[in-house]
Chains A and B, each alone.
Chain A
Amino acid sequence: MIKKIQIWHAVLILYFIVLLLRFDELISTIELVFKIFQLFVSQPENISSLFSSNVIDQLTSFAIFLMGIIFVIGFRNRIAWLRKKCSLTLFATIILAFIFLYAPILAPYSDNLQFNLPTAKRLAPLSGRYLVKMIDEYSTRSSKSQYQKAEETLFRENVTPDYYLSEILINNQNSIGSESTKVIFLLGTDEYGRDILSRIIYATRYSLLIGIIAIFITGLIGITLGFISGYFGKYADILLNRIAEMFLAVPFIFLVILCVAFLGDSLSTVIIVLGVAGWMSLFKIVRSEVLKLKTRDHIVTSRMIGMTLFNQLAKEFLPLLLPAVLTNLTFQFAYIIIAESSLSFLGITGNYSHSSLGGMIQQGFLNLNEAWWIILFPTLIITLIFYTVYNYADKLRNMGTKQISFTMN
């Protein structure tokens, strides 16, 4: 039975689960879209001020969500890939892709939302509490527009006096004017009263995002320099080789810590540093491949007929380099994610605008006595990411040449 599951089945099952669990969220998003549309009709001049980064994020992932469903259902017969057997790795990939693309929809709360501590501190997984909203008082007191209210239900980053968590059901709607809903913390909460599920979802997304952008940088640098070095040779080759050796002489993590400590720990710095610090192995691979390829007939011909350098690289070299480059980059991707989580584990990237897996593990270690769940789930997801990535790297390696070694850096 399980062996017969095809990719599109798995995707649809996940969509179904999301629809089931996050139905409210989807409805509120539709409401938000509707209100934005209303506002667009009534006062088009103010429309740009509505789009905060939160709103754009939510709407984009909502749009991708809808398109995804349509795509899978509509194209399942036309695209053979969707009908492939769904292995465990593929399933894990799909889950990670879901988290990456639909984080705002999947996460019940914002990653920094702190519930009122006495109730929400270190709740065990699956524990239920009541979320109380003061309705009457709130709506009379505030002069907020309908739009802002819709926005607020979606992007609450803050516990205000009229929105709190309670251990018991407060059910006298008439006198206080409150409305209680039961909420369940699937993975529990941390010591600051933040929902771990939401934090993990956002942290995973950040990790993947950092990894993707960073390997893009690595690829760009590695391929360009490797090409220059291999193609032109001579002094450029000697110099670049020495520089690569120099970078290799310092352990990757030292280099990253050094740069991050000195250049600041903003997200962009971390991405750039992680991207730059790992270019050497790709450089070496590309260089040696280019050295080998450069004397081949079709390359020589392409040079003779006057192709530009860029065209030569893009049209003649890259297709041949691709397997080696891809394998290397897949490994790099994993190292970058390891490095990123190690950095936050060591407390070197203390970026508090978003959650990070390494930071959560560190926090979990501090609370190991009281709460095992804080450390367990981030660890699991990190292992899942690595497992998936390595699996791909392994497959790519086996598919391509055996020359690319199983080494780091």
Chain B
Amino acid sequence: MKVILNNLLRSCLILVICLSCSKEDKSDLVVVGLESEIQTLNPLYTMSEVEANISELLFLGLVGHDWDYEKGEPTSFPVLASSIVWENDSSSVLISLRNDVKWGNGKDLTADDVIFSFDLYSDKSVQSRFYGTFYNYYLNKDLSIDLKKTFEIIDPQKFRINFLPHRNTSCYDFDFPILPKYLFEKVHRSDLALSDTISITSGTGPYKIKEWKKNQYVKLIATSESIYSSPTQIKELIFKIIPDYTSRLYQLKNNDIDLTEFIKPEDVENLASQGKFVLKQRTGREYDYLGLRTNSAENKNSAKTGLFDSPRIRKAISMAINRESIVQEHLRNKGSLMSNPVAPIFSSVLNKNVNPLPFDLNEAKLILNSEGWNDSNNDGYLDKNGNMFSFTLNFPSGNPLREYTAIRIQNNLKAAGIKVELKGLEPTVFFEKMFNKQFEAWLAGWSIPVPLNLKPYWHSDPKLAQGNLSSYKNKRVDEILNALDLRLPNNVRNNLIKEFQKIISEDQPVVFLFWIDNSVAINSRLQNVKVTPLATIQKCWEWKIN
């Protein structure tokens, strides 16, 4: 017995020693907690926003962006370019490169690299994420950029880009990380996706990859050669993948991580009151909506009940859902009601006369009655020609907000006499079916691209608008969206967007629920973090540790 006690005491002592001895020194290290896995950092293939943001720390682009809060639009500033001179009609641009940018092999950045990068991004065999999105460029048949027509090299540091005439061009047309030609040309283009070139090289960015463990973390260290390198720059950045929210939160409180996004609204107040954290909001670029199958006649995949073909029905459903209570109770006002898909942050184009539909159960019932839906058999549910007003609402499982919203919608609509059955589907299955337009009603969300691009979501041509999942069709909306692609005076453009907002709010092609703010928690030892509608993880070289 004595021996055992002795042993126990000894092992306790050792344990205490080891628990105390390895204190971490974090004076030059910042850990960012990420929700989703980083699958690649190759700028050609970065699909998610976070991946793209991190890869921009490794490879700089010609331009960078900021958000102008007063005008409510993004502004651009040159990064690898030293000057950007637009032609008067915006049909071409003259770009001079900085002469102090060097690649890892000591060679200067040249126009050749830029053109090579554009060639890669638009090449069919590379399958980059930007393939086929160079709408304002002269293109070959396979949608790659016609290099001869597009680029004019004036000298190694200076070149001109010629765009298609009369297009609405901007700095976003050449906003891509520039890749080193000498490295990427060694790899066969169709093998680029698999090559690990990216992890061994240092780009033009102020950071490079030090260590990368899949499913765990990516460790970046500062480089000294970049134009953004500075002695005060944080030496090491770790992006740690913690899919579990609770774990992420506890690690934040435990000082294991310094910054993380998507804090639940109910934890925001708690964290803010601790004084150890700075909480910032990334306001409304994401919204959730209740998708309804409009134009049932056109759709082959789903059942042709035509329940939601009439805009008035969609309006009634919208009015029967108490969206405000969801914003208050679940989002704790870290979000706002919405009327249309133009986010309030785009203040210059926002139509202030379009207001969200109110919650009005009686009005909703009246509309439904006037459309022929009555509770004639007194079972509490509306019916028309002997059919009950009922539908199945599909939503992806694993998202607490959507689960909550689905249950609230079910309850709200029941009060209006509509029977809703809920069906939570595993995300992969859900999104496959959603994109194949197999649902009659579904709950999902979109994130608004910057710069504002409405065409992929609301145009009636399914080839142009992969995001128009409810098969919404409106002639005037199509006209407006087509016109927005062209070069227009600013006031005409703004008025068109305002008109679009009015129409879409009237039509309610989907039931617009609410804008969701993204709450970012930052440990107060980390300073100078700029959270804009564009991104959270940006300009990390400007971050400082207190």
Contact = CB atoms under 8 A, between A and B. Distances in A.
A369 B400 CA distance: 17
A347 B397 contact: yes
A339 interface: no
Contacts of B361: 161
A348 B426 contact: yes
A368 B429 contact: no
Contacts of A265: 397, 424-426
B407 A350 contact: no
B125 interface: no
Contacts of A352: 397, 403, 406-407, 422-424
B325 interface: yes
Contact of B398 (A143, A347, A369): A347
A359 to B, nearest CB: 10
A117 interface: yes
A96 B246 CA distance: 32
Interface string B93-107: 000000000000000
Contacts of A30: none
B411 to A, nearest CB: 5
A118 B329 contact: yes
B77 interface: no
A408 interface: no
Interface string B422-439: 111110010000000000
Interface string B403-420: 110111001001100000
Contacts of A117: 325, 329
A350 B325 contact: no
B212 interface: no
Contacts of B446: none
Contacts of B353: none
Contact of B426 (A114, A121, A350, A353): A350
B467 to A, nearest CB: 25
Most chain B C-beta atoms within 10 Å of own C-beta, residue among A118, A350, A370? A350
A365 interface: yes
A408 B397 CA distance: 30
Interface of A (DSSP majority class): loop
A159 interface: yes
B407 A144 contact: no
A54 interface: no
Interface of B (DSSP majority class): helix
Interface string A318-354: 0000000000000000000000000000011011110
Interface residues of A, number: 29
Most chain A C-beta atoms within 10 Å of own C-beta, residue among B361, B398, B411? B411
Contacts of A348: 426
Contacts of B411: 114, 158-159
A352 B420 CA distance: 13
B378 A148 contact: yes
Nearest to B247: A365
Contact of A158 (B245, B270, B398, B415): B415
A264 interface: yes
B451 interface: no
Contacts of B408: 114
Nearest to B415: A160
B426 A158 contact: no
A281 B388 CA distance: 49
Interface string A70-99: 000000000000000000000000000000
Contacts of A347: 397-398
Given A158-B414, A192-B404, A366-B246, A351 B380 contact: no
Nearest to A368: B246
B441 to A, nearest CB: 15
B84 to A, nearest CB: 48
The interface size bin for chain B is 20 to 34
Contacts of B329: 117-118, 121
Nearest to A264: B429
A407 interface: no
B246 A114 contact: no
Given A347-B398, A352-B406, A352-B422, A144 B414 contact: no
A112 interface: yes
A261 B426 CA distance: 7
Interface string B32-51: 00000000000000000000
A348 B425 CA distance: 9
Nearest to B422: A352
A145 interface: yes
Nearest to B412: A158
A161 B415 contact: yes
B208 to A, nearest CB: 36
A261 B427 CA distance: 10
B324 to A, nearest CB: 12
Nearest to B411: A158
A365 B246 contact: yes
Nearest to A113: B411
Contacts of A365: 246
B429 to A, nearest CB: 7
Contacts of B270: 369
Contacts of B407: 112, 114, 192, 352
Most chain B C-beta atoms within 10 Å of own C-beta, residue among A117, A157, A348, A353? A117
Interface string B379-401: 11000000000000000011010
A117 B266 CA distance: 14
A157 B429 CA distance: 28
Contacts of A148: 378-380
Contact of B380 (A144, A161, A369): A144
Interface string B347-363: 00000000000000100
Contacts of A158: 411, 414-415
A145 B407 CA distance: 27
Contacts of B422: 352-353
Contacts of A118: 329
Interface string A106-129: 000000101001100100000000
A114 B266 CA distance: 19
A351 B403 CA distance: 11
Contacts of B415: 158, 160-161
Contacts of B423: 352
Nearest to B395: A352
A144 B403 contact: no
A187 B422 CA distance: 26
A366 B404 CA distance: 14
B329 to A, nearest CB: 5
Nearest to B379: A148
Given A114-B411, A366-B245, A350 B404 contact: no
Given A114-B411, A148-B380, A161-B415, A350 B246 contact: no
B362 to A, nearest CB: 11
A93 B527 CA distance: 59
24 contacts: A117-B329, A121-B329, A144-B380, A145-B378, A148-B379, A158-B411, A160-B414, A192-B404, A192-B407, A264-B429, A265-B397, A265-B424, A347-B398, A350-B397, A350-B398, A350-B425, A350-B426, A351-B424, A352-B397, A352-B403, A352-B422, A353-B422, A366-B246, A369-B270
Interface of B: 245-246, 266, 270, 325, 329, 361, 378-380, 397-398, 400, 403-404, 406-408, 411, 414-415, 422-426, 429
Given A265-B397, A351-B424, 15 more contacts: A117-B329, A143-B378, A144-B378, A144-B380, A148-B378, A148-B380, A158-B415, A161-B415, A192-B404, A265-B425, A347-B398, A350-B397, A352-B397, A352-B403, A352-B423
